[in-house]
A and B are shown apart, each in its own frame.
Chain A
Amino acid sequence: MRKPLNPRFQLPDERDMTGARVDDLPVPVSKLVPVDETTGRRLNRPHGRRLVVIAAAIAVVLVYLKTATEYSIGSVTKPAPGSYPFVSGVILLVGLVLMAFDRRREPERQLVETIPITVALRVRRLVRPVVLVGACLAYILLLRYVGDTTAAAGLGFVILIAFGEAIWRAIPLAIGIAFLAHYLFVVLLGVPLGKGSTLW
């Protein structure tokens, strides 16, 4: 049996409309989609969301292609510095455009479409990954100021708490893992990690 989440980090809206806890749902949370409880219609339809992401990606690729043309394109038989990036960008662009017109959905999404789940529950799912990425980012940025052991202990503590570990266990665990990493990489392998390491 999985340990229950740390009560401090359980949000009040962790339960869906039926009163089920996120961990008691019949399918993995990743397969669930938000549905408006009154009308039963899907909120924030995946294809619409996908189109927004694809449009943003296309915009980035267009900027990339514009930059590539500034390096001189040359020709197929006389390639210049910009020719290979240009061709690569065109392949990416074609793929993205084709993807925008591809409306076929993944079969498992259709299967779970009718399971009601609140938007808040979906937001709740994002807490752990956001904390994980944020903790890693903080570790990278703080490394040169506070040293590797302190930064690693901080990273460990934040992730452990976010994953539901009790504070009294999270502190020694985080410190232990930080010292283990320091001994392994800095002492044994001589990786120049720590205060004074440059960001760029």
Chain B
Amino acid sequence: MIHQLLTGFGNALSWENFLAALAGAFIGTAIGVLPGMSPTVAIALLLVPTLKMPGESGLVLLSAVFFGTQYGDSVTAILLDVPSEPASIVIALDGYPMTKKGRHGPALALAAFGSFCGAVIGLAGLALFAHTFSKYVFQFGPVEIAALAGCGLLILVRASGTRLAAGLVALGLGLVLPTIGLDPALGTTRFTFGWTVLYQGLDLIPVALGLVGVAELIENALDPTRLRHRGGKVPLRSLVPARAEIREAAGASVRGGVLGFLLGLLPGPTLTMSSFASYRLERLLSRHPERFGHGAVAGVAGPKAADDAAVSGNLASLLTLGIPFSPVTGVLYAGFILHGITPGPLFIQSSPDLFWGLIAAMLVGNVALLVLNVPFISIWIWLIRIPTRILSVILALFILIGSFSVRNSQWDMLVTLMAGVLGVLLRRAGIDRTVVLVALILGPVLEENFRESMSASGGHLSIFLSRPISLVIVSITVGILIASAAFQILGRLGALPRQRLADGA
């Protein structure tokens, strides 16, 4: 593994890939600090521009954008208390109080430090996972993939944190949308109603750009007070944290990194889950839990590390299994396909140079994030100050053209607009759009592989329990679902006496 990684560093340090990593980290952060811009939208917008680049460099840039956007979002969360992504809400809980105390410099520096630690731990985990997984690569067939996709969807509904009804609606909607177009097994048309434009089905990118990007634009238009805050100046000298703060942040970052990577392996909104889990863990372990919510350093560094490590966990399922478990890896998957590379079980075997080169380049990109982005903090603050109205025009145009450019289709622009309106309705109804997007990605994978499994087994469902890997997947899923239900019931039983006590009964 070490030898392969060293070869990967050789590739990553070629000037094209090195520049791509630097540019990706920089552009990603610049997009991430813009209100309402998520990694999903950032990568979707940059897909077409990277087609002009060599395949490997394009993918390095997109992966670096992923990490960069994550860091950029934490800048707005810390300085303005305006997180674009749910994962950054946790960082704002203690980052913004630090800003109010005038400690925004150390908060930004420690977030960058946590982000770097999380990324390094996550990438080490990804390398280890991929190395181990490559031994079992040929045992992964349609049965295992169908089991993984189906079980992933079940965990997703539980993990989304919304009510069961909202989870089912999100799942159902995500499964229904990709049924428009051609049937994956027989090639017959479904739900096209004679419209040739629907034969190709709904592409992920226009739907993702609409559900996330356009929906945010509409929300900003509905309530411009959301983005009324503006950042102050951050002199470079103020970024240096105290020694005690570095010590506190280091421990939190390591714990957050490990936790984040493990949670990132699961399907769904794992970036958010990992941030929240790390925050709770840090508060639990802290000698001064009362400081949390009032500017605790561990409350910034830990969740930031978990967030970035979860990115690597997300990438693990994409690169090794070829199954994107989150909207952003779904868009990244589309990027791989556009560059003529299919991630999946055979990817590590057939293109080891590219795989290890990509991991090494992501590490280089994270070093670039740490070295370049903290001194560039003034540029990020300048970007935050762009008036909402100008930003809305630029983003509306970029999102629409980005949607058009995937298939050169005006129909996709209309799909983006319709998905945007749908996204606002879903958000208002408390339905998690992440679940819709993940189901949209996993649905066709499930259908195709389930039908192949049934065809190969002669219609025996027992095949999912008779093959060792699928049995393990099913068992783990059942375990997770039972444990989650048990925790919920215990939580309710515990809450009842507390409620009665509070009511004075």
Chain A residues with CB under 8 Å of chain B are 2-3, 23, 28-30, 50, 53, 61, 64, 67-68, 71, 75-79, 81-82, 84-85, 87-96, 98-99, 102, 104, 106, 125-126, 128-129, 131-133, 135-137, 139-140, 143-144, 148, 152, 155-156, 159-160, 162-165, 173-174, 177-178, 181, 185, 189, 191-193, 197-200
Contacts and interface: CB of A to CB of B under 8 A. Distances in A.
Contacts of B460: 77
B223 A95 contact: no
A102 B166 CA distance: 10
24 contacts: A28-B225, A61-B176, A64-B191, A75-B459, A79-B450, A84-B179, A91-B175, A92-B168, A94-B172, A95-B166, A95-B169, A96-B172, A98-B164, A126-B222, A129-B424, A132-B217, A132-B218, A133-B218, A133-B420, A140-B410, A173-B390, A181-B394, A189-B48, A200-B195
A30 B223 contact: yes
Nearest to A85: B179
A155 B176 CA distance: 32
Contact of A125 (B222, B390, B411, B461): B222
Interface in B183-205: 183, 185-186, 188, 190-191, 195-197
Contacts of B471: none
Given A64-B176, A84-B179, A200 B185 contact: no
A163 B183 CA distance: 44
Contact of B221 (A68, A132, A144): A132
Contacts of A155: 393, 396-397
A67 B194 CA distance: 13
Given A129-B222, A174-B393, A181-B397, A88 B169 contact: no
A81 B461 contact: no
A81 to B, nearest CB: 4
B397 A177 contact: yes
Contact of B183 (A28, A81, A131, A160): A81
B176 A94 contact: no
Of the four ranges (under 10, 10 to 19, 20 to 34, 35 or more), the interface on chain B belongs to: 35 or more
List the 3 closest pairs (A to B, CB-CB), nearest first: A92-B172, A95-B168, A77-B459
B454 A77 contact: yes
Contact of B226 (A28, A67, A84, A131): A28
A128 B222 contact: yes
A159 to B, nearest CB: 5
Given A92-B168, A185-B401, A199 B224 contact: no
Given A106-B430, A132-B221, A132-B392, A95 B397 contact: no
A137 B410 CA distance: 11
Nearest to A22: B225
B398 A181 contact: yes
A76 B450 CA distance: 10
Given A95-B166, A132-B218, A133-B417, 15 more contacts: A29-B222, A77-B460, A79-B450, A81-B188, A93-B172, A94-B172, A96-B172, A128-B224, A163-B388, A173-B393, A181-B397, A189-B49, A191-B48, A191-B401, A200-B410
B468 to A, nearest CB: 22
A76 B460 CA distance: 9
A5 to B, nearest CB: 10
A143 B408 CA distance: 13
A63 to B, nearest CB: 10
A84 B186 CA distance: 13
Contacts of B163: 102, 104
B410 A197 contact: yes
Q: Is the interface of B mostly helix, strand, loop or mixed?
A: helix
Contacts of A137: 414, 417
A93 B168 CA distance: 9
Interface in B406-435: 408-411, 413-414, 417, 420-421, 424-425, 429-430
Contact of A191 (B197, B390, B393, B408): B408
Contacts of B164: 98
A193 B404 contact: yes
Contacts of A200: 195-197, 409-411
Contacts of A85: 176, 179, 190-191
B223 A28 contact: yes
B165 interface: yes
A88 B176 contact: yes
B172 A136 contact: no
B228 interface: yes
Interface string B372-400: 00000000000000011110111011101
B169 A92 contact: yes
B225 to A, nearest CB: 5
A112 to B, nearest CB: 13
B459 A78 contact: yes
B109 interface: no
B13 interface: no
A191 B405 contact: yes
Interface in B124-172: 163-172
Given A99-B165, A139-B400, A199-B410, A88 B392 contact: no
Contacts of B214: 136
A143 B389 contact: no
Q: Which of B163, B392, B409 has the most CB of A within 10 A?
A: B392
B173 interface: yes
B451 interface: yes
B447 interface: yes
B52 interface: yes
B443 interface: yes
A94 to B, nearest CB: 6
Nearest to B50: A189
Contact of B172 (A89, A102, A148): A89
Interface in B244-290: none
